[in-house]
Amino acid sequence: MRRSPLLHPLAVLRTITGLSQKEFADLIGASTANVQAIELRKRRLTDSRAVRISLETGVDVGWLLSNRPKDPPMAEGGMGFDRCFFDQHRADVEFGHIGLAPTIAEGCLINCLGLIAAIMLKAHERGRCNLYVYKLQCSLKAIGADIGVGDGQTLLPSVKPKNSLADETVREFVRRFRAIVQAKESSKRQPRAGR
């Protein structure tokens, strides 16, 4: 993938977010061609599009419309804009500013564990478990750093579930994962009929 020449604040913003042109276009409800044309200064960024971008990313509309990509990016309210600010803004947009209720948090944990298990199974099938574990650990460390808890390892001894549902969920996840892996391994070892 070619690097953007950063001719427009939109290109700077998109680069900070780490999104591709397609991902960014999807986020703001535009076409990839439109995003690319604005970044290359072939099309003007409209006020209404700038407002939509601001709502989705938290970036300051004035900075976005300034056409000065070398100026430091600003968030609404005059704060500096960086990837952490963007991630927090997206979390607030997606989940609200009030935090997750315990039942929603449990559902989120169960969904995340399911996704972790599904990807882990595919990694196991493809002989890429080492890469999976490495990438998962890197992701968790990055999340811990973004939240301000370092790599999170210091939290492990102090985290005690208030009820046993979370603990039971993790145990059930591990039990099911082991059963699936064992079933796949035994099916590989059994000779197929007709051979």
Q: Which residues of 38-77 are buried (b: 16+ CB within 10 A; e: fewer)?
A: bbeeeeebeeebbebbbebbbbbbebbbeeebeeebbbbe
Give the pLDDT score at 164.
57
Q: Which of 11, 56, 7 is nearest to 29 (CA)?
A: 56
Give the separation between CA 55 and CA 47, rounded to whole angstroms: 12
For 153, residues 6+ apart whose C-beta sits below 8 A from its C-beta are none
Tell if the pTM clears 0.85, that is, is over it.
no
Mean pLDDT of the chain: 83
At 78-119, the pLDDT tens digits run 889 999 899 989 988 887 766 666 666 677 777 888 888 889
Type of residue numbered 174? V
Give the model's pLDDT for residue 33. 96
CATH topology of domain 9-95: 434 Repressor (Amino-terminal Domain) (1.10.260)
Give residue 65's pLDDT band: very low, low, confident or very high (50, 70, 90).
very high
Domain residue extents for the chain: 9-95, 102-189
Q: Helices 83-95 and 47-57 meet at what angle, rounded to 10?
A: 90
pLDDT the model gives residue 114:
82
pLDDT score at 143: 84
Residue 121 has pLDDT above 60, yes or no: yes
Of 4, 6, 13, the closest CA to residue 85 belongs to 13
pLDDT for residue 115: 87
Question: Between the CA of residue 157 and those of 134, 180, 191, what are the distances in Å?
Answer: 22, 29, 46
- Which pLDDT belongs to residue 151? 66
Q: Is the pLDDT of residue 194 over 60?
A: no
